[in-house]
Amino acid sequence: MACASSLHLRRSSLPLRATAESPVAKAVLIGITLVFLGLFLLLPLVVVFQEAFSKGAAAFLHALRDPYTLSAIRLTLLVAAIVVPLNTVFGLAAAWSLTRFRFGGRSFLITLIDLPLWVSPVIGGLIYVLVFGAQGWFGPWLREHDIRIIFAVPGIVLATVFVTFPFVARGLIPLMEAQGIKEEEAALTLGANGWQIFRRVTLPKIKWGLLYGVILCNARAMGEFGAVSVVSGHIRGKTTTMPLQIEILYNEYQFAAAFAVASLLALLAIITLILKTHAEWRAERQLREATR
């Protein structure tokens, strides 16, 4: 073909490549992207910290030392400490059974695991109210035995489990599917038992993918609002997590205090993004090594 190859064009001093936009178009596109992402992503993040410190560092620290805020932080940490390990075990078990074996209904199970990602978080709370609430299935029985699930910590844990259980499983399934089972089978023929295979062979191969899922699961568990809001009952100092405490403070016009709590969660989000980017990069490398 008469047309020069792109390599040649790149080396030539032509101002314009045939397969690139003109500098003006390029500048406009970059400009649009900067404005769009700046306006919708960067600015809200800046606002959180700006508003949190709007009354000074002393007011910021004072807001965080409020007993209700402290109890909200404790509850959020407690919920995450229960939910993340549970969902990690579930994610590992689901990924192991779904990628190491073939059985009927496999794709249905994968769809079921995706469910919380496409239903409204409010529905995630609603379903537990319908089971354990005062008018729910077990409502009368629970009242007789004086067990509280809805408007108490167990309900918050359940709703958070529902919203966050897909993350670890979804992080692991594509990775383990691509890595295959050759090494595990080799270990089996060498006499390793199931636990040894998992710990010595599988776990080192999937650790970055696992970390990726755990990070996302944790971020969502600490930040969940819709589902938790339905089941919590908003009892101050007892069933308010950090996002709910933000809502209460905000509705009481204590804006600086609301943003002070919000800034902690925003900081968590930034750390999550950094760790996630790193884990993603390492997981991709593990995947490339596996498929090579």
Interacting positions 190-219 with another protein (CB under 8 A): 193-194, 197-198, 216, 219
**Spatial separation of the C-alpha atoms in residues 175 and 277, rounded to whole Å:** 16
Helix (H, G, I), strand (E, B) or coil at 165: coil
- Residue from 11, 14, 43, 203 touching another protein (CB under 8 A): that is 43
71 binds another protein (CB under 8 A): no
Q: How many residues bind another protein (CB under 8 A)?
A: 102
**Spatial separation of the C-alpha atoms in residues 168 and 83, rounded to whole Å:** 12
- Residue from 172, 173, 222, 279 touching another protein (CB under 8 A): that is 222
Site string for another protein, 158-197 (x = CB under 8 A): x--xx--x---------------x--xx--xx---xx--x
- Compute the C-alpha angle 272/276/279, nearest 5°: 140
Neighbours of 288 (CB within 10 A): 10
Question: Which residue, among 7, 71, 53, 13, has the nearest Cα to 260 in the 3D structure?
Answer: 53
Helix (H, G, I), strand (E, B) or coil at 66: coil
Which CB, 60 or 128, lies closer to another protein?
128
- Residue from 64, 136, 154, 282 touching another protein (CB under 8 A): that is 136
Q: Which two tokens stand for residue 264?
A: 């902690």
- Residue from 100, 207, 238, 282 touching another protein (CB under 8 A): that is 100
81 binds another protein (CB under 8 A): no
142 binds another protein (CB under 8 A): no
